[in-house]
Amino acid sequence: MSDDVTNESFLAGQLLIAMPGMQDERFARSVIYMCAHNEEGAMGLVINQVLESLTFPDLLEQLEIEEGDFADRVRVHFGGPVEAGRGFVLHSTDYDQEATLPVDDDIALTATIDVLKAITNGKGPRKCLLALGYAGWGPGQLDSEIRANGWLHAEADTDLVFDLDADTKWERAIAKIGIDPRMLSDEAGHA
């Protein structure tokens, strides 16, 4: 039997939840929605770290996009340390364009300026989360981190992904798998 964590199924469309002992401060208590995971690597967006230093209207101004009436409903998140200046929009599948990547039946990813314009004009997706940057792993890297007791994973749901209460997403994500975070150890056990 293979030690490959993803042997039975890859993690795209699921939540990756940092263990309490996460050594990388950028990911401490983070919840990541996994957009892609295959033999070539993995990519996801942190969904519970709002950037206080940048608002959506500020971003629109920098991109020279007219603000529109719907700009106040979007917050900018830290999506991860890779390509921190690049924007990604996780959204409900009611919005679709040529560049949209469906992740699962309920959530898609679009990384074009057109989705931002659609959001500001009220023609965008019903639910969305804007992130700058992403979390990325090379081939086998995420699998190794999971085996080293760095991450848990759980089924994603749109309520948790798109909820505006980012401060409690980590606790709620862990609760989805029935674990009390106080009982978790960052030490891997071996039989």
| CATH number, domain with residue 122 | 3.40.1740.10
Q: Report pTM.
A: 0.88
pLDDT tens for each residue of the chain, 191 residues long: 334 443 434 899 999 999 988 888 899 999 999 999 999 999 999 999 999 999 999 999 999 998 877 767 789 999 999 999 999 999 999 999 999 999 999 999 999 999 999 999 889 999 999 999 999 999 999 999 999 989 999 999 999 999 999 999 999 999 998 877 666 655 544 44
Domain presence at residue 65: yes
> Residue 44 sits in which domain range?
14-183
Domain count, the chain: 1
Q: Exposed/middle/buried for 2, CB within 10 Å: 0-12, 13-18, 19+?
A: exposed
Domain presence at residue 126: yes
Exposure of 67 in the CB half-sphere (CA atoms within 13 A): 11
